[in-house]
Structure 1
Amino acid sequence: MAKDWAAVSRAITTRMEELGLKQAEVKARSGLALQTVRELQLNLTSRDRPKRTLAAMSEALEWPSDHLSLVLEGKDPGEAAGSDLMVPTLRAVVAEFKNLRDIVERHEAELVELRALKAAIQSDSAAGKETRPDEPR
């Protein structure tokens, strides 16, 4: 199948507009030369490029690394890389669960301390001692 550099160009231009990026910003994100970014975005030269070039451009545009390679081959990157699109979301969910687990563990430790304090106060109360929370024992 012929390589569709025009489709790659359209995809890049559309994505840059969606993200509000200029060529210089894509250059900085991708590590590619500005001339390479221009050539890809404007389809100035339809020549083979290293896979890493399209991967860097894809990642700079917040796509999975194989996105533009799939576009070039005429494939639908949404279907081919559907599971890859979920990876960042799943990582964020896992990170949030870890954060929540840490919070719960801290609250459980505080609850243990509060229960011990309550038991001590009840014990003192039962023994007839008057204690105030602000007084040392």
Structure 2
Amino acid sequence: MASLGRVLSKTFFWSYERGTWPYDAAVILILVFVLLTPRDWFRDQPQGGGPAAPGQVQLLFKEGNRQTYRVDAHILAPPTKLALQNDLHTALQEAQSELRNGNFSISKIEPLRDEQGTVTAYQVEIRH
């Protein structure tokens, strides 16, 4: 029988061969931990708010087929360029009844910042 130190060392450095019972037991323990650990133990909560409320999306200008909206940044997840455009498209579509069909494209996105430089909203220009 192996000493406790050797077992711990082999387990820590993942030295067991595939197909052995200690390897399989370690894999099962890892899977159980990953799949059954409650999300709130790690404060891992989804980013962004829920669906856009009408007050969080406001029409600023309307000229022909161009419209400019102000979209509150709190309803969006932290953005990447493409994800920001997709999230803004979805927020406009959900909050504005005339845009529900989704037949519009975003032509310009301008972040609006507060005194500390934090993005508080986006000014979004769309085209039909």
Could you tell me the TM-score, scaled by structure 1's length? 0.25
**Relative to total residues, which structure has the larger helix share, 1 or 2?**
1
**Relative to total residues, which structure has the larger strand share, 1 or 2?**
2
Q: Report the structure number with the largest CA radius of gyration.
A: 1
